[in-house]
Structure 1
């Protein structure tokens, strides 16, 4: 007897309600916490927060750089018209030495003074200066002295009518009296330079020496921004911009410049904008070469001084984790936190100018705690929340287990200790423990037969929605509780005395088979749907236990459980806003449809304004197309009314992919439909387009290289190779075609460059890059000094703006008369764009070449509209022209038209001797192709053999 009690106790301990509640809850809590942590911490959320922090910092620094660069280039360093007016004061002859020379220099300075004051007021700088280059001398201390005029205004924002707010830092005595401007405490009649301290007079020597070394470069391109320095005897740290002034004979006569104090510049860089806690730092540095080492010029923010003190240099290293971030290399001790910066370079100098290698940069910096503090705080909060939730969940599960297990345990104890001959008084239960109650029924089975009605009373007193039955092998009656039949939807009169005939009971149970919705495979447990005409349907769970022909069953109401589960499943699978399937449910249904197609349309919302529609089970493609057309028309006719009584038409772009024509798997089908939609959004917009495999093979890389075209344009990642165009009469080089070659691994050809640029509206950047770099590269060739022409490929629809046009005209004025503009583009330009391109070429004395003639874009209509100087015959016409009479006829027609109209024909793509000979015999003017020479960075001379073949072929025609 004792062994049996021990065994029962052990069995209950292993399968107790506490264990059944606590173990699943604990597992669920840990799984939920694990999934939450993986999703938030390792799912990329923290990483995105970090990237956002760097993007925000970079955006602020970029905006501040743009503002400062605009001020430096458009305002502070704009020395016109002062430079031109001062240049007029120079005499035609050199200034003499002695008293006469001094008088003449004073006269120049006197006449220039009003222009300098006007420049000082207009440019809002703190100082202007004019230093004459002749009349050099030395004082007793060996200091180099120059005649000059240096005026300073410590408050550019306010002006005085009598110039009383100005100070003279350097000026001859006579001019000081003449101007009536107060003298600075450090005034000197002449400007002194220490010849051993190069830094303090770079603002004079740098532009002066550059003007002597590069007489062909214009004065504006010789302007120089000096690093921070403090002149001898001065108390102010300043930055200057200075440029040389030449007279009409090209002699450098003076250095004109402006001055900005470090304090004044610091006010233009408010470090507070980088961080609300005022922990940001701005730093301006100058670097030479490609190293990320910057000489300190100025900084703002008290944190910089606290962290780096008076550091003369700042070094950075690029972080791999965040592409746009740089970490400060800090060798100082005592600082454990890293400092990150975003570097934005100033474009102060044009290319191919003396000082283009001096890179000025604005760098905004924050330490990692300020920059990444939010993401670190989020990460910490997640772990704290995870711990608190786990503790609360365990505590709640333990309390719930106790609240359920304790009354049931008390009930079981009372049942086991009850006297079947006397009525039982049991406490009410708030939840039913089916397994333990079934066990109690099994234990009391011998007494249930005699006390069935009393068992019903006990269950009623417990307040639990539950019913039970029991059959005995030696009895033809079934014992039932009072609510058993009522819960199954039968009349309440049945089994009024607590028993029912066994055959009648089996017949009633048989009728329930049609109401089974779920259950176990062995049939021991069933979920039944109970219908009632005047009430909502209910669900009950029927569990039956059989042992040695002794059958016991329990039925319990699980309506709330079923309703809650179905609600959770619907919220899991349906979008709350549109009541359509969400992404997860769509994926599940999609897999089902591919394995078992149905006559049904499936619609789901993916995210935002993106939806998927699946048409499956239709008999023909035309049937689906008709439905799609109805859908497209319905969208176009839909009008959305706004609160202000205005209305807008709804537009939708859609991509269509067909099974099995385009793909046999749903993954590829979705991918191709996305690509088709992308094509529509980037072309016609607001239409439904079908997937095209040729377009996909050609353009799919557009989705992957969107940032690469920006890097190519910004970093000028191109080179230009030159292919010769030779005279068809004698083989001499007539000109070179400049051919772009991208240097990025991800972009292979000029065609890809144009496609990417066009897809992102960056064609203007390619046009600007082509003009600047092709002419600069051609200028370096030895052949550029001769009369050889250069053919530049221009995008017909793109026109340079006034600033870029002025730069090209001023920088390459000596080359423009030899430029031949090749009009090329995948699509034809408009008549207005063509006319503007022709006017542009005429203004520069350039000629026009119509490229790719014969391909369909540049047709006879384009020839008539353009009336070019040259027509370039496309390679498709040249190829095998020696064996194709149709190609020869097309060329003869073109030559008949160009003859007498001063239009020259160039055959490009010549690859064989037979093609060369045929083209010369037909009368083309110039030849280009691999047979003659391939494109090269430094073109080599035409091989003598090729020259001789051209001359022989032409001689044969002449005879």
Structure 2
């Protein structure tokens, strides 16, 4: 009897346990191996990262767009300083040396400081003068404890530092630690002193750099290292004060208190239970794998326990989410790993003194707290499976022990049941067995229903997952409903273990790097290509496989890779991808052989854009790209660098001649390419190109590109539409035309033109008749007017130089007092360039009282554009100004140009003047010119007079005015008296 009872229990319980085990494994595998938990963890990282990024953006915007916008204040301080200098006379150094004047200057500053304090919503504003008296520096430091409110008057302000007279005038409260002047104890590197000394020393070290590029964000500090001095710590944004003469005479700026800054970093937003916090840090480390941040500010109740009590926090790159780092946990963190999401701020521009100090916002949290939801989900899933299994086992045991009759029938029914479907047992006519059958059916339905619920949850979440289990030693094979469809098996078609293996074997497959038993399959379906990922796990004699549809993931990855490396308009490589591949290739010179880099710039693109619109301009670019693809051989790379610039690298040739011949193929294909235009015309594609050969011209990418660019630049400005090879001699001669493009832009933008003045002397009485304004470029690499004009001509910016010449020459003449003498001002006009009507109106507004003394010097090149010459003649007549024909005697066509221009003055070129007292040919030319000009009341000016003999001959020949080194050299401020006056009068007395 006992033996039969035991046999009954086994035959009932084991099949049902097997079904439950399969369904539990199926449920767990579908959820865990399908990536649901991994996705939850990734979401947790992403949400945390987005919060930190958003907070970083907000704080960076406040610091750069509101708090540090003090240019208006700096301008006002500069104007106050210049006004006091103009009133008192002297220099900035003299002003700084006088304590009374320094205090008066501070009094002038107060309105600008208080206005900025209100406008920028900062907690403090200051100015410190670099005029120490002993150890004390005069200055003003005002604080606003509540910048969000602005009551009338100054009741909410406190003075931390200011002269007594100023505090009495403003009637502001004095801080408990108020002082009348700044005392910087502890040296320049003391934390509380850096806000003053760092920008001050930077301005002294880098003269000529803009003040805003020398600005400095200081770490938090207590003013004077006294915690009671300022209430709480502040960070300061300070900018050096630089006079017009380059003197660094102080520092001005604003501060933001740590309490005020804390409000911008609410740690509770990172974790609803306040288990995370924000850290504001600063580092100079360049190794991004491990960085040490100096703690500037920390917010969050749990933060101190997580990071410890040190002043520095070291972060180490962590595997997983991008931008997350590990932190050595503090004593309050327990055994949990602490991670930080690091988002660096850009507070400084490139190539500035403090760009190495990088500030960052760090969101800090324990990893357990960050991943709490995914861990809870995993635990609840496991608990649910265990609980349901326990309930199922209890039910099975209970039902099995009540089975007493007709066991064979019930066992047969159970053996024939399909474990993938809810079990169905037919009644056997015995109440006890039927009740047992009903309990088994009910329990099986509940288990299947639970599995279906999980499947529905996955369907609602849009997760495509199929699962199968196969017995390696038997015929057992189980699978979920979605599995066949994911492999391209249509509904109703047969599907079994053999079909699964044949289907997987026929599909293109690749093992995923870094993963075991994980494979990626490619399917060609009617709606396009699909990708599925197979993950297999061995469980004893059975294998569990999970198939997930990763089409969206792979497509997005491929799209991102394509957008990263390819130009969207042409499909060619972009600049970054092209450079990366070339630099990799050049590490294998044997594979490259002889190569050529072709740098191309499309001609006529601006014409197409302006005439037919940018859509046809894009078509012009695409036509060029197609021609480039058709004409480049297999061993080549092509890219679009910018709007109209293309580059190609052709390699693997045995000689330069072979590479050159391949370039001719590109040139021919371009010439055959045509763009159809909307008006029915057909525009050929044209490009100017420069060639640089590897390794003949250069063996590295950067110089190779630079040389090809130079060759293209030459042909672009000489003979458009040609392919030209790089020439080292031309490069050594003209490289500055390419290299100084930015310097030219800076010269124009900053108006860096200076002028010296050379007297033009009356040949009758020896007095000064006028001054010629001589251009002097104030830049490092552009040394002469000739270089400047050649560079401007190559960049089509002569019109801007003409405008700058007219305004700057008159500005310098007024500033140096040259026009105050009533003398004429001779200014060289650039040929075929003329001021616009708005510029002429501005000239009349600014210099109207001086324009009748202006003499505009023209050359023969003015004949090239009679319309512009006529405009110059017109506004000269309007102003009562005069015209002068410059450099007469050098290649001019005689008296014809004198008739065309009708000048009031003719300047005889130095080539005609030099040695004229010994040269009869020069004397004859001069005699004819004097005779011609006297009849027409044109006054003659002899240029380049360098000897007494030349001066004497010109006077005796009847020249009206003289100019040259013998009389006086050019200078910013010409001397009042000229030694040559006495000699001229003596010559006149002997005539």
TM-score scaled to structure 1, two decimals?
0.51
1:210 to 187, 199, 202: 202
Question: How has the CA–CA distance of structure 1 residues 836 and 615 changed in structure 2, closer, same or farther, with 3 Å as cutoff?
Answer: same
CA deviation after TM superposition for structure 1 residue 97, in Å: 5.1
Unmatched segments (≥5 aa) in structure 1: 1-8, 139-143, 409-431, 439-517, 528-537, 543-554, 589-603, 618-659, 680-699, 711-746, 774-789, 794-819, 838-847, 859-867, 896-900, 909-926, 955-959
Question: How has the CA–CA distance of structure 1 residues 215 and 606 changed in structure 2, closer, same or farther, with 3 Å as cutoff?
Answer: farther
Q: How is 1:453-602 mapped onto 2 (pairs within 5 angstroms)?
A: none
CA deviation after TM superposition for structure 1 residue 433, in Å: 3.3
Equivalence for 1:778: none
Q: Is the 8 A contact 1:872 1:907 kept in 2?
A: no
Does 2:524 align with 1:673? yes
Q: Is the 8 A contact 2:282 2:295 kept in 1?
A: yes
Q: What CA distance in whole angstroms lies between the structure 2 residues aligned with 1:315 and 1:952?
A: 51
CA deviation after TM superposition for structure 1 residue 835, in Å: 10
Does 2:66 align with 1:67? no
Q: Secondary structure at the residue paired with 1:90?
A: helix
1:754 to 551, 561, 565: 565
2:91 to 91, 94, 104: 94
Question: How has the CA–CA distance of structure 1 residues 370 and 109 changed in structure 2, closer, same or farther, with 3 Å as cutoff?
Answer: same
Question: How has the CA–CA distance of structure 1 residues 831 and 262 changed in structure 2, closer, same or farther, with 3 Å as cutoff?
Answer: farther
Does 2:628 align with 1:855? yes
1:198 to 190, 197, 208: 190
Equivalence for 2:254: 258
Q: Secondary structure at the residue paired with 1:294?
A: strand
Does 2:221 align with 1:221? no
Q: Is the 8 A contact 1:282 1:362 kept in 2?
A: yes
Q: How is 1:134-533 mapped onto 2 (pairs within 5 angstroms)?
A: 135-138=131-134, 144-196=135-187, 198-232=190-224, 233=226, 234-235=229-230, 236-289=232-285, 290=287, 291-308=290-307, 310-330=309-329, 332=331, 335-405=334-404, 408=405, 432-435=406-409
CA deviation after TM superposition for structure 1 residue 404, in Å: 2.4
Q: How is 1:51-62 mapped onto 2 (pairs within 5 angstroms)?
A: 51-62=42-53
Question: How has the CA–CA distance of structure 1 residues 892 and 238 changed in structure 2, closer, same or farther, with 3 Å as cutoff?
Answer: closer
Question: How has the CA–CA distance of structure 1 residues 23 and 822 changed in structure 2, closer, same or farther, with 3 Å as cutoff?
Answer: farther
Unmatched segments (≥5 aa) in structure 2: 419-423, 429-433, 470-480, 494-501, 511-519, 531-549, 581-596, 632-642, 674-683, 712-723, 731-991
Q: Is the 8 A contact 1:238 1:261 kept in 2?
A: yes
CA deviation after TM superposition for structure 1 residue 46, in Å: 3.6
Question: How has the CA–CA distance of structure 1 residues 871 and 231 changed in structure 2, closer, same or farther, with 3 Å as cutoff?
Answer: closer
CA deviation after TM superposition for structure 1 residue 308, in Å: 4.8
What CA deviation, in whole Å up to 9, does each residue of 1:544-594 have, x standing for no partner?
xxxxxxxxxxx9999999999999999999998999xx9789999xxxxxx
Q: What CA distance in whole angstroms lies between the structure 1 residues aligned with 2:451 and 2:524?
A: 26
CA deviation after TM superposition for structure 1 residue 831, in Å: 5.8
CA deviation after TM superposition for structure 1 residue 315, in Å: 1.9
Q: Is the 8 A contact 2:96 2:249 kept in 1?
A: no
Q: Secondary structure at the residue paired with 1:671?
A: strand
CA deviation after TM superposition for structure 1 residue 383, in Å: 4.0
CA deviation after TM superposition for structure 1 residue 227, in Å: 0.7
Q: Is the 8 A contact 1:849 1:872 kept in 2?
A: no
Question: How has the CA–CA distance of structure 1 residues 830 and 221 changed in structure 2, closer, same or farther, with 3 Å as cutoff?
Answer: farther
Question: How has the CA–CA distance of structure 1 residues 392 and 246 changed in structure 2, closer, same or farther, with 3 Å as cutoff?
Answer: same
Q: What CA distance in whole angstroms lies between the structure 2 residues aligned with 1:758 and 1:18?
A: 71
Q: How is 1:895-910 mapped onto 2 (pairs within 5 angstroms)?
A: 905-908=688-691
Q: What CA distance in whole angstroms lies between the structure 1 residues aligned with 2:120 and 2:667?
A: 67
Q: Is the 8 A contact 1:324 1:342 kept in 2?
A: yes
Equivalence for 1:108: 105
What CA deviation, in whole Å up to 9, does each residue of 1:421-479 have, x standing for no partner?
xxxxxxxxxxx5345999xxxxxxxxxxxxxxxxxxxxxxxxxxxxxxxxxxxxxxxxx
Q: Is the 8 A contact 1:851 1:873 kept in 2?
A: no
Question: How has the CA–CA distance of structure 1 residues 223 and 369 changed in structure 2, closer, same or farther, with 3 Å as cutoff?
Answer: same
Q: What CA distance in whole angstroms lies between the structure 2 residues aligned with 1:224 and 1:568?
A: 68
Question: How has the CA–CA distance of structure 1 residues 81 and 248 changed in structure 2, closer, same or farther, with 3 Å as cutoff?
Answer: same
Q: What CA distance in whole angstroms lies between the structure 1 residues aligned with 2:2 and 2:181?
A: 109
Q: Secondary structure at the residue paired with 1:385?
A: helix
Q: Secondary structure at the residue paired with 1:163?
A: coil
CA deviation after TM superposition for structure 1 residue 19, in Å: 1.9
CA deviation after TM superposition for structure 1 residue 344, in Å: 1.3
Equivalence for 2:861: none
Q: What CA distance in whole angstroms lies between the structure 1 residues aligned with 2:613 and 2:725?
A: 44
Q: Is the 8 A contact 1:854 1:874 kept in 2?
A: no
Q: Secondary structure at the residue paired with 1:78?
A: coil
Q: What CA distance in whole angstroms lies between the structure 2 residues aligned with 1:81 and 1:541?
A: 94
Q: Secondary structure at the residue paired with 1:343?
A: strand
Q: What CA distance in whole angstroms lies between the structure 1 residues aligned with 2:11 and 2:320?
A: 47
Q: How is 1:933-948 mapped onto 2 (pairs within 5 angstroms)?
A: 933-937=698-702
Question: How has the CA–CA distance of structure 1 residues 320 and 29 changed in structure 2, closer, same or farther, with 3 Å as cutoff?
Answer: same
1:129 to 126, 130, 142: 126
TM-score scaled to structure 2, two decimals?
0.49
Q: What CA distance in whole angstroms lies between the structure 2 residues aligned with 1:123 and 1:265?
A: 14
Q: What CA distance in whole angstroms lies between the structure 1 residues aligned with 2:700 and 2:663?
A: 30
CA deviation after TM superposition for structure 1 residue 117, in Å: 1.1
What CA deviation, in whole Å up to 9, does each residue of 1:73-121 have, x standing for no partner?
1111111211122222233653355898223323332222211111111
Q: What CA distance in whole angstroms lies between the structure 1 residues aligned with 2:150 and 2:663?
A: 82
Q: How is 1:811-830 mapped onto 2 (pairs within 5 angstroms)?
A: none
Larger Rg: 1
Question: How has the CA–CA distance of structure 1 residues 292 and 950 changed in structure 2, closer, same or farther, with 3 Å as cutoff?
Answer: closer
What CA deviation, in whole Å up to 9, does each residue of 1:253-290 have, x standing for no partner?
22121101111111111111111112221111111113
Q: Secondary structure at the residue paired with 2:108?
A: helix
Question: How has the CA–CA distance of structure 1 residues 54 and 245 changed in structure 2, closer, same or farther, with 3 Å as cutoff?
Answer: same
Q: What CA distance in whole angstroms lies between the structure 2 residues aligned with 1:228 and 1:295?
A: 11
Q: What CA distance in whole angstroms lies between the structure 2 residues aligned with 1:834 and 1:433?
A: 84
Q: Is the 8 A contact 2:129 2:137 kept in 1?
A: yes
